[in-house]
Amino acid sequence: MAASAGIAIIDTHVVVAGLLTASGESAVVHGLQGMLAPAFPYVVSEALIAEYRAVLLRPKLCRLHGLSPDEVDEILTALVQNAIVLAPTEPAGLRAPDPGDQFLWDLMAMREDLLLITGDQRLLSAADLKGRILSARQFFHMHP
C-alpha cells in the first residue's frame, strides 16, 4: 500500500501545534485547516477526541491559544463531523512506545489503510508500524 492511499489519524501533537502556530505555511496549520475543510479523509475515536479536549484545555495551553472551553468544543465538534469515527473493540497485538498512546495503536490495528500523523519522535521511530507513521510535513506534502 502506498502511503498516499492511507486515511489519517491526526495525533494530538499536530492538532495542538496547528492551533498554536502562527505561520499559515506550516504543515501542522495546513493539517488542522484540512481537517476542518475537510480536505482529506481522517479518523477519530472517542479516546482521541477526549485527548484533544483534555490537552487543549490545559491551563498553559489555554493561555497560549486563547480559546474558551466552548470554542474548543466547537472546533472538536467540527472535527468529529468531518471525520470517520471508529471505535476499537479489542486491544492491538502491538504495544505503543508510550502506554499513554496505546489507544492510537489500538485504532491503527483496526484498518491497514490508517496512517498515524504525528510530531512525536518516539512514535515516528516505532519500528512495528514503519511506513504507517508519518510526520505532518510528509503527509501534508502528499495532500496539498
3-142 homologous superfamily: 5'-nuclease (3.40.50.1010)
**Tens digit of each residue's pLDDT (9 = 90 or more) over 8-35:** 999 999 999 999 987 777 888 888 998 9
pLDDT of residue 30: 85
Checking if the pLDDT of 4 tops 60, the result is no
pLDDT of residue 1: 34
**Tens digit of each residue's pLDDT (9 = 90 or more) over 94-135:** 888 888 999 999 999 899 999 999 999 999 988 788 889 999
**Tens digit of each residue's pLDDT (9 = 90 or more) over 32-57:** 998 999 899 999 999 999 999 999 99
pLDDT of residue 3: 44
Q: State the DSSP string of 9-40.
A: EE-HHHHHHHHH---TTSHHHHHHHHHHTT-S
Which distant-in-sequence residues (6+ apart) come within 8 Å of 76 by Cβ?
49, 52, 53, 56
Domain ranges of the chain: 3-142
pTM score, whole prediction: 0.90
